[in-house]
Structure 1
């Protein structure tokens, strides 16, 4: 059984606050899904940027996330604690790169990312199992985001354009 992290721990530390997706990772049910839902406003804020700006922001979220997730995990003494959901933010932002505008595409991107994040097809499952630290926490979700991005782009090509 995984230890329970208290809200006061998350809200008293900027590292935990970010790693726990602004508190969304405290959800007692499906924190990864809650974290992905919490990433939608960030996506909506970044979506109007030119592609280069959006990619730069998504890259920054991903690179900084390696440290944030690793440090939060280290402080908690638990590798990849379920409430650490900054990796979901990065994966969802990658999924939504160059997505068509509209809520339908946000919902489709959300479900595709959650599908690949939960399913963990090769090599995601291997990375999730074998790579430790902040990079291990982040990389499986980044790959899930890339897989979901590819499917979303295929669907957009077929149905949106």
Structure 2
């Protein structure tokens, strides 16, 4: 079985053989040897660019569906790897990053890199309650929830920055 940090070739093949695993690893973006969360967050920008022109209600609906599917996919991927929140599982970064970029939908271009950096800050730093949720919630829901809260924190700060600008 994999540790939280090492993904051997057999685990990689098992992960990519499953639609849930493919999604959970962010279409392969979580398979980088280092900084998987950062690469997952960067990869999340591509679909966000496609979704940004949707009405806010449509965009929110997609985020809710992506969250629900992510709970399932991350649960399955965790079982495949034998580690509930393996570093290669980055779908939570996709959803958290999309939430963080909500204020950027109606803001100048600079809000996108700012939102990216804010999300990475909150995802890595894990201030309360993010770290508390990360330690206590398990399974696919636990994988997803701390990144959703990090995304909400980042979105609030980004909104305040955009509003002050």
TM-score class, shorter-chain normalisation, is over 0.9
- Of stretches 73-82 and 9-18 in structure 1, the one that deviates more from structure 2 is 9-18
| TM-score (norm. length: structure 1) | 0.93
**2:13 aligned partner:** 8
CA contact (8 A) 2:15 2:80 kept: no
The correspondence for 1:117, drawn from 119, 123, 126, is 123
SS of corresponding position for 1:98: helix
Asked whether the equivalents of residues 75 and 139 of structure 2 are also in contact (C-alpha less than 8 Å), the reply is yes
1:71 and 2:76 correspond: yes
Q: Which residue of 2 aligns with 1:157?
A: 163
Matched residue, 1:142? 148
Partner of 1:86: 91
The Cα shift of 1:32 comes to 0.2
Q: Aligned-residue CA RMSD in angstroms?
A: 1.3
Q: Separation in 1 of the partners of 2:78 and 2:89?
A: 8
Is 1:61 equivalent to 2:66 in the alignment? Answer: yes
d(CA) in 2 for partners of 1:79 and 1:10? 13
Deviation at 1:5, TM superposition (A): 4.1
Instruction: Name stretches of at least 5 consecutive residues in structure 1 with no aligned partner.
Output: none
Contact preservation (8 Å) 1:10, 1:23: no
For residues 52-105 of structure 1, the C-alpha deviation after alignment (integer angstroms, 9 at most, x for no partner) is 001101111111111111111012111100110000001001111132344421
Cα distance, 1:11 vs. partner?
3.1
Aligned length: 159
If the length of structure 2 is used for normalisation, what is the TM-score? Answer: 0.91
